[in-house]
Chains A and B, each alone.
Chain A
């Protein structure tokens, strides 16, 4: 262990740090901004908002997405809402309270200064998005409506029906489109990052593959921003979109960027349970449903009566029973584990006994079907399309699924990775959610990073390169990285084995889910660290990629992404093994209280684990950033 990480937290009291940073950072004057070129990879909330804002400021921006259009990014699928400390309800909310809730929700494993800044700019995000025309829900007087969300006792979540992520992403996409139309941003669609190029110790650019032609090419810039999302698809089955992957972050990691807290993964409590073995993904049902839905299982294991035939006194509303003050709105990690325990105890419901009920009959009785339909209609419709059951009549069945990853590339306060000039924004970085993210905070963080943090912090780095030209893509390092990428694809295409990339992905996902999922043990993690490399060896020998490397080949694309998940999977398990405590989404069975809650070890683990690549995926170096809590006192998290 060593501590070579400088988080660059500004001086001063917590509430003044961001102001102090802005007062003291180096700026680039407006006329000089056009001399700088910035590459932004990914066009979700963080990437689109960063690219648009940097272009507005005058920087030359090249934006890359592997989708056909920036509007496809998976931010679009967020349903419930976005938090902001507006206190429009007058219910006691404040920047401090949002900051406190986020630190506590993260089980005291996030960096205070970053989280405070996030809470501060949360209010600007709502202003900005409303100005751009995001149709947030309104009250009859025309003011913005709010609802409450897990892990908070105030009502601070802004929403646009059950499609908040869609509306926010389209807002950011439209700002990006405006810049593309005006020439401020050059957009490269259907272009996938295949590597990051580092020259003389700083980020010089990226190598991408044009997914249509198969052409591998180099792009250089003064700075590179990775806004490429999380790695929840390591589990194969998750609520992520099919194409979500870790490749950009992982390639950066292999080029020297430290990867922080990979074992912090969030398992979302309210997803539709798996119905079959070939299922390709799991569908999330917004956590906002827990505002009015009540979670229960039969008290007796194996009770397979229809739900309406089970009388009230034979039902266990376990969240209300265990966590009376938060009830059905207990945070995600806690709700997920409680569901797992009920199912493990044989109280699961549905044909595979792999779910718990989320029941709206009480809410329909109290509010009427119409009000419930207004709040959740589109979610109910979606549920019915997928399961063939009508949730107005029978309770929904839900079960936890991989949803979000708190871990990611290590970044300092300025969102810079350990490679100078390489930034990570949104879910791709590790910085704000600690060991567990609260609901409606992912959209907040993505937009915060892209609109209100990066555009400030990036000039602090760029200013030193004034009048220095963009790195030359004819530099030998670019050609070297390009040929490595080509060799890699040739290798996949020439193995000629028997199994598809999806087959390996599914098998890998099972290992990671079984041993590094909702509950982890030392023995299980050791086992996974044996099985993953063995499966990886098989992948290298038995993979089959049909079609060539030049031109469109979705099987080839998938092979590259799956290979990166293999190496990441080893790091996730290694990190989970070395973190000998339970915190947030990381639950080690060996470390729990008498009543089964997570038992943190603040003396030994109140730190960020940032992993350095050594070339051997089984033997990375663990570095530590100690987390100092000045503003919030460490305490045992309780939602009882």
Chain B
């Protein structure tokens, strides 16, 4: 049933650009129903700001159904807020109570520079995928789909990893700003599948090294898994590390026979 939340205090990070200093700005929300999503609350605030002649709070968002990975936000210090396995856009106000103070910040990681207010630049993720997060299969030459049987457990495990939405919560939650969960999810998806074997080790090598050129290092805190809106397991990092080590230490020809 619908409840009305009263007297919420929002402390929202405002920052004009990547090189300027930012600060918290306080806004009051007198009343809002708990059926509203968190981003709808910001919509309402923004509409009020515009009608008062002020600039709206800049934030990234799009599909609002938890799949495009555009939305972000540190809410009370938690990436995507308090609900586990849920992106900010699917977080609803029923998770909050009247009188709450809610602190809203952008992702904070040196590889994700702040563009303005709550919006950050996550294009380093694209660079990692461009380095090898694909299977080279030019259009037109594919064999019949059922010629490549994939055992169900393998397919399911690949799918578990492939669910990553590229939101960056893992990086934001990591004390080191590492992107290991993101990178490993893609490597695991492709390296588990029979179609991905031909490029398995070059993929691991190129993606890991591109990742290292932008992001911090993993020290096994596990914050990434806790923050991931798709609940991707840190097990994928083990597979990535194993494939990377093999790629670096073993002869490729021998690997291909393994």
Contact = CB atoms under 8 A, between A and B. Distances in A.
Given A69-B125, A133-B193, A177-B134, A242 B62 contact: yes
Contacts of A72: 62-63, 68-70
A351 B150 contact: no
B223 interface: no
A131 B51 contact: no
Nearest to B16: A551
Given A500-B47, A546-B53, A276 B36 contact: yes
Contacts of A132: 134-135, 137, 195
Nearest to A174: B134
Interface stretch (B6-14, B37-45, B248-256): B37-45
Nearest to B144: A127
A77 B63 contact: yes
Contact of B1 (A135, A177, A283, A351): A351
Contact of A279 (B40, B116, B122): B40
A278 B69 contact: no
Interface string B14-39: 00000000000000000001011101
A161 interface: yes
Contact of A130 (B61, B131, B145): B145
A382 B65 contact: yes
Contacts of A381: 85
A241 B63 contact: yes
Contact of A67 (B53, B65, B70, B146): B70
A503 B150 contact: no
A452 B122 contact: no
A130 B36 CA distance: 39
A126 B131 contact: no
Contact of B196 (A53, A133, A545): A133
A135 B158 contact: yes
Nearest to B48: A500
Contacts of A278: 36, 40, 43-44
Nearest to B59: A554
A180 interface: yes
Per DSSP, are chain B's interface residues mostly helix, strand or loop, or mixed? loop
Contact of A131 (B62, B135, B158): B135
Interface string B122-164: 1101100111011111111111111011111001101100110
B126 A177 contact: yes
A159 B160 CA distance: 14
Q: Which of A69, A144, A284 has the most CB atoms of chain B within a 10 A radius of its CB? A: A69
Contacts, number: 226
B5 interface: no
A142 B158 CA distance: 13
A341 interface: no
Contacts of A67: 62, 70
A246 interface: no
A280 B51 contact: no
B142 A166 contact: no
Contacts of A126: 145
B123 A189 contact: yes
Contacts of A139: 152
A166 B144 contact: no
Contact of A128 (B1, B54, B126, B139): B139
A341 B220 CA distance: 56
Contact of A283 (B44, B50, B65, B116): B65
A180 B210 CA distance: 15
A621 interface: no
A502 B43 contact: yes
A601 to B, nearest CB: 38
Interface in B42-94: 43-44, 46-47, 49-51, 53-56, 58, 60-70, 83, 85-86, 90-92, 94
B155 A143 contact: no
Given A163-B67, A212-B115, A278-B36, A502 B47 contact: yes
Contacts of A56: 138-139
A131 B163 contact: no
Nearest to B44: A278
A136 B66 CA distance: 20
A201 interface: no
B166 interface: yes
A144 B145 contact: yes
A135 B155 contact: yes
A385 B195 contact: no
B213 interface: no
B55 A547 contact: yes
B53 to A, nearest CB: 6
Nearest to B119: A552
A124 B155 contact: no
Contacts of B119: 552
A283 B68 CA distance: 13
A351 B68 contact: no
B121 interface: yes
Given A71-B166, A132-B135, A135-B158, A382 B68 contact: no
Given A132-B137, A554-B58, 17 more contacts: A68-B60, A69-B122, A73-B68, A131-B141, A137-B155, A138-B152, A140-B151, A144-B145, A174-B135, A177-B129, A189-B123, A275-B35, A276-B36, A279-B36, A381-B85, A500-B46, A547-B56
Interface of B: 1-2, 33, 35-37, 39-40, 43-44, 46-47, 49-51, 53-56, 58, 60-70, 83, 85-86, 90-92, 94, 115-116, 119, 121-123, 125-126, 129-131, 133-146, 148-152, 155-156, 158-159, 162-163, 165-166, 189-190, 193, 195-196
17 contacts: A52-B139, A69-B126, A77-B67, A77-B68, A131-B195, A133-B135, A140-B151, A173-B129, A177-B133, A177-B134, A278-B44, A283-B65, A388-B92, A500-B50, A546-B50, A552-B58, A555-B56
